[in-house]
Amino acid sequence: MLLLTYSLVGIDYDWNKWQEQCNPEERTQLELNKCAHQQFLLSDSELNDTYKFILRSLRPEQQQQLRAEQGLWLKTRDSKCRAQADDEAAGGSIWPMLYELCRASVTRHRTQELRDWKP
């Protein structure tokens, strides 16, 4: 299948899970792009919930440290995924899907980092 030939370099994305949820065999590329965006929104929501929960449990100086770290991470996430999608499919119809899948994967990874975060 064509979708599996694209690799998200450095991104550990669960293609099987994505295929199960988005059913790429029966969808147009536009629908796949939208489904990938939904995957990102779900992972972003989980990240925000995790971040808020952890932040509430920290002392003020630890909160400041985590806010700074999270701000740095946010500044780089989208630009790294843009560059990665450009490398794979610049100008192609699959570009939005690759971009959103990258953001979803990187965001899930960051959520796990937050769960493991130690000041």
- Dihedral (Cα; 14, 115, 41, 109), 10-degree rounding: -40
Question: pLDDT value at position 38?
Answer: 92
Ranges of residues in the chain with a pLDDT under 50 are 1-10
The type of residue at 35 is C
Q: Is residue 8 part of a domain?
A: no
Instruction: Tally the residues of the chain.
Output: 119
Question: pLDDT value at position 7?
Answer: 41
Exposure string over 82-110, b if 16+ CB within 10 A, otherwise e: bebbeebbeeeebbbbbbbbbbbbbbbbb
What total of structural domains would you count in the chain?
1
Q: Is residue 81 part of a domain?
A: yes
Question: pLDDT value at position 70?
Answer: 95
Q: Which of 77, 56, 79 is nearest to 66 (CA)?
A: 56
Q: Is residue 22 part of a domain?
A: no
Q: What would the pLDDT profile of 31-54 be if each residue is shown by its tens digit?
A: 999 999 999 999 999 999 999 999
Q: What is the CATH number of the domain that holds 103?
A: 1.20.1270.180
Q: Model pTM?
A: 0.81
Q: Is residue 101 part of a domain?
A: yes
- Domain containing 83 equals 29-115
Question: pLDDT value at position 88?
Answer: 87
